[in-house]
Amino acid sequence: MKAFCIVQINVHNAEEYAKYVALAGPAVAKYNGVFLARGGRCVTKEGPEQNRNVVLEFPDFDTAVKFYDGPEYQEALSFALAEGVSTRNYTIVEGL
């Protein structure tokens, strides 16, 4: 059963965040993930507005968790979570 990562991001330092982006894409590919949405137009109808939204698809829930916890993505994430770079909500959800 497929799994989806839903990521809502507010980028505060685009230059530093670009370091995350450069590493995150190859990490997604390594774990057979696919970007379904990546920072395109959006409108927030409920809850706090986020200026960037990403949806990833993985073959299954366990692979999505392995991706997130894997060394490749954790290296990328260290740039995104650095002080003042971005604030994020990240959810992994199993599909139907």
- Domain residue limits, the chain: 3-94
pTM: 0.92
In the chain, the amino acid numbered 75 is E
β-strand pairing of 52-58 with 86-94 = unpaired
Beta strand residue intervals within 1-96, DSSP E? 3-11, 34-38, 52-58, 86-94
- The CATH label, of 3.30.70.100, 3.40.50.720, 3.30.499.10, 3.40.50.1370, for the domain at 3-94 is 3.30.70.100
CB atoms < 10 A from the CB of 83, how many?
7
- Give pLDDT tens digits for 1-17: 999 999 999 999 999 99
DSSP percent split of the chain into helix, strand, coil, nearest 5: 40, 30, 30
Q: What is the pLDDT of residue 80?
A: 93
- Give pLDDT tens digits for 47-84: 999 999 999 999 999 999 999 999 999 999 999 999 99
In the chain, the amino acid numbered 46 is E
